[in-house]
């Protein structure tokens, strides 16, 4: 299969059509993602479990669907995804304890089901509790192991670039019948 030969044989109109087709696929995916953000109230409506800290509830590679409606109270036993200042990757753990102050402020403590101790060691220095602002979302559903593709692409960047190149070439070179 000669990729560049196929490109040379296309006239300009066909090439522009294929580039536009590729741009529409990318923009459609972006619009769907932004729509999910609005519908779910979460900055990241879909996340992949990256570690075994929540086994047996969730395994590495499970794809979680999140919502983050501010009016819903946080309850002990609920599985939340949160971000800690100074860490880029969100953490998926269960709410262990909830403290509600008289002024309505809620603070809570989390722990991974498969961990021996609570998450105070993961929080930023001097922080003993999480607040509602730290929550990215709450787990509402999952698909087992679907996120393994994401983990493989992060662990092996060359695989990711090769896969993206193949998909891009396919979209650009595929001709409509």
Q: Which residue has the tokens 């590729």?
A: 22
Cβ count near 165 (within 10 Å): 11
Residues 6+ apart with CB under 8 A from 77: 94, 95
- Residue 93: active-site member: yes
Q: Are strands 63-67 and 46-48 parallel, antiparallel or unpaired?
A: antiparallel
Active-site position among 42, 62, 119, 134:
119
Of the candidates 42, 53, 62, 134, the residue annotated as catalytic is 53
Q: Which tokens hold the place of 140?
A: 């509402």
Pairing verdict, β 79-82 and 135-143: antiparallel
Per annotation, catalytic residue among 42, 62, 93, 134: 93
The candidate with the shortest Cα–Cα distance to 69, out of 39, 27, 99, is 39
Sheet holding 79-82, edge to edge: 46-48, 63-67, 135-143, 79-82, 91-100, 106-111, 130-131
CA dist 165 → 4, 17, 20, 28 (Å): 13, 19, 17, 19
Residues annotated catalytic, as ranges:
53, 93, 119
């Amino acid at each position: 299969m000669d990729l560049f030969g196929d490109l040379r044989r296309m006239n300009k109109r066909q090439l522009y059509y294929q580039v536009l087709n590729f741009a529409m696929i990318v923009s459609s995916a972006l619009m769907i993602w932004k729509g999910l953000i609005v519908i779910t109230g979460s900055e990241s409506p879909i996340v992949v479990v990256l570690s075994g800290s929540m086994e047996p509830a969730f395994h590495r590679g499970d794809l979680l669907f999140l919502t983050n409606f501010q009016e819903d109270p946080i309850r002990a036993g609920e599985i939340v995804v949160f971000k800690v200042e100074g860490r880029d990757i969100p953490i998926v753990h269960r709410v262990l304890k909830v403290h509600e102050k008289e002024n309505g402020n809620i603070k809570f403590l989390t722990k991974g089901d498969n961990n021996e101790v609570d998450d105070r060691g993961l929080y930023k220095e001097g922080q003993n509790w999480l607040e509602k602002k730290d929550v990215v979302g709450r787990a509402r559903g999952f698909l087992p192991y679907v996120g393994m593709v994401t983990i493989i692409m992060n662990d092996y960047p060359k695989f990711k670039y090769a896969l993206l190149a193949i998909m891009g070439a396919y979209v650009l070179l595929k001709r409509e019948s």
